[in-house]
Amino acid sequence: MHCARCGSENPNGAKFCIECAAPLQKRCPSCGAENLPRAKFCGECATPLTAEVQGSKFQVQSLEYSAVQEGLAFRHRELETRQDIAERRQLTVLFCDLVGSTALSAQLDPEELREVVRAYQETCATVIRCYDGHIAQHLGDGLLVYFGYPVAHEDDARRAVRAGLEIIRALQSRARQQAANPPLPYGRRPNSLHVRIGVHTGLVVIGEIGSSAKREILALGETPNVAARLQGLAEPDTVVLSAVTQRLVQGLFTCEELGPQMLKGISTPLVVYRVVAESAAQSRFEAAARIGLTPLVGREQEVGLLLERWKHATTGEGQVVLLSGEPGIGKSRLVQVLKEQVAAAGATRIEFRCSPYHQNSAFYPIIDHLQRFLQFTQDDTPQTKLAKLQQALAAYRFPHADTGSLLAALLSLPQPEGAPPLTLSPQKQKQRTQEALVAWLVEEATKAAVYCVWEDLHWVDPSSLELLTLLLDQVPTTRLLAMLTFRPDFTPPWRPRSHISHLTLHRLGRPQAEAMVGKVTGDNLLHDLRGQQIVAKTDGAPLFVEEM
């Protein structure tokens, strides 16, 4: 028997250590684990520890346990081998490199250089994390980033391009902040950092590579090389895209074509684009709408129901429609159809759009709506923005005097002149802000019937959802139709009520799917084999029909 306290060996059967009087533990003969003196089986591996349990019954259990252990070992070996299995998938790769790093290293002391590179990498990593990108490698001061691994998103290309633009913006704002700081000792100026970024999308094989000394999960194939070469073509502080990525983000970003370019190691010239800016389109649907939508197919019943609910709302019996369905099924399209109808009738249209990138940002859809409604521009000073807000609020009668202050705070603007300071607790301030916004919407509905859309509630933040719940309680007595769209992974938290209808959109039936293929491809194709294949493969999902 082994004493865990003093390490001495004791005679078998001893209960206390003969050297130090500590209670003795039983060491398992099989795995070496220490067990309590009264243990019959090892707590680690179930090996019998006393003579009485070494009979046949326990032997069987022990054998079974060994089988389990064998099984586990096998599973472990299987997992180890699976790490060798590479996966084929589509990936968007972003390659980012610091401009002039050799010159920097000549100018700076290595300690200072390390600090500069660290700050640059931290800035990039913060942005990349926001878009769920994965930094696969730091190559000196270059960054190899994957969008689409380990987690794939429907908008990985868009995430990559946004991340690229935001890295540039973040480094520029860092430089501005540093310029405003007092100069460094000996009158030196801090170095402003510039980057070049390349983005390409393509097939890769992703898996673990390297030796036992250093193993990494990396994507192999032409895609990362092309991204790195595109980075080499980019001017400082610009993002360059391949034609494949540009097609995936069409309508979401304004791009300038740089023409076909020969890239080292790639046999054919590639058409390359420079990203000029993010467009005003906020979703794939909006981007598609700018290019031109396919004429509406089917959905007569749904449109009929929506128009009927709208009619009720205009008479003061406010309505709520919950419109759910899988991605690309046509929710936004129906929202648009009704928008056109109510616009013709002179209704007020208000749209709150939840965003996959701002699910943790309190009141994001409301702030975004207000910024558009108040026509804030990038050049507006905070004072100009405040003036725009106050001018807009002057047209309404708010029950509470602090509405202006609350909304100014919501939009991160200075407090209105002469307004008493807001001294509420954060919780109370949030609640009062929600009440003020609901009061605003309700008053809006006294001026004209309101079509109030909340798009993509599967991405809503908790504060906005609370506000929406408050609004829904007020709807029945207003001239307001609230149209709420969401995918099946969102469960509406509201109990059924007479003014709330739930409409689930299903895939198009075969005749409608054929009609849509006809509209997208031209009727000629519909009657040949390819048209029929598209109908069969897309299985009535409108987005797939358009994409094929």
Ligand X SMILES: Nc1ncnc2c1ncn2[C@@H]1O[C@H](COP(=O)(O)OP(=O)(O)OP(=O)(O)O)[C@@H](O)[C@H]1O
164 binds ligand X (CB under 6 A): no
Shortest separation between residue 290's beta carbon and ligand X, angstroms: 11
Shortest separation between residue 144's beta carbon and ligand X, angstroms: 29
270 binds, among ligand X, Mg ion, none (CB under 5 to 8 A by kind): none
Residues in the chain: 548
CB 491 within 8 A of CB 389: no
Shortest separation between residue 279's beta carbon and ligand X, angstroms: 16
Token digits for 538? Answer: 């897309």
What does each C-alpha distance from 261 to 97, 108, 210, 250 come to in angstroms?
20, 35, 33, 20
Shortest separation between residue 296's beta carbon and ligand X, angstroms: 5
Q: Which string of x and - marks every residue 299-338 that binds ligand X (by CB under 6 A)?
A: x-------------------------x-xxxxxxx-----
For residues 283 and 314, which CB has a smaller minimum distance to ligand X in the complex? 283
324 binds Mg ion (CB under 5 A): no
542 binds ligand X (CB under 6 A): yes
Q: Cα–Cα distance between 353 and 457 in angstroms, integer? A: 8
Site for ligand X in 453-472 (CB under 6 A): 456
Contacting ligand X (CB under 6 A), which of 117, 167, 288, 411?
288
Please state the φ and ψ torsions of residue 27, each to the nearest 5 degrees: -90, 130
Q: Cα–Cα distance between 262 and 249 in angstroms, integer? A: 23
492 binds ligand X (CB under 6 A): no
- Sign of the CA dihedral 98, 100, 101, 104? negative
CB 222 within 8 A of CB 184: no
435 binds, among Mg ion, ligand X, none (CB under 5 to 8 A by kind): none
CB 407 within 8 A of CB 436: yes
Applying CB under 5 A, the span of 21-29, 197-205, 218-226, 280-288 interacting with Mg ion comes to: 280-288
The one-letter amino acid code at 172 reads: Q
The residue of the chain with the least Cβ separation from ligand X equals 330
136 binds, among Mg ion, ligand X, none (CB under 5 to 8 A by kind): none
Applying CB under 6 A, the span of 184-192, 285-293, 358-366, 494-502 interacting with ligand X comes to: 285-293
332 binds Mg ion (CB under 5 A): yes
For residues 332 and 433, which CB has a smaller minimum distance to Mg ion in the complex? 332
Count of alpha carbons within 13 angstroms of residue 215, beta-carbon side: 9
Q: Cα–Cα distance between 455 and 486 in angstroms, integer? A: 7
The region that residue 539 occupies, defined by phi over 0 for left and psi between -120 and 50 for alpha, beta otherwise, is left
Token digits for 382? Answer: 């905070």
Q: Cα–Cα distance between 388 and 401 in angstroms, integer? A: 18
For residues 34 and 546, which CB has a smaller minimum distance to ligand X in the complex? 546
Give the footprint of ligand X on this chain (CB under 6 A): 285, 288, 293-294, 296-299, 325, 327-333, 456, 487, 516, 542-543, 546
Give me the residues that bind Mg ion (CB under 5 A), please: 285, 331-332
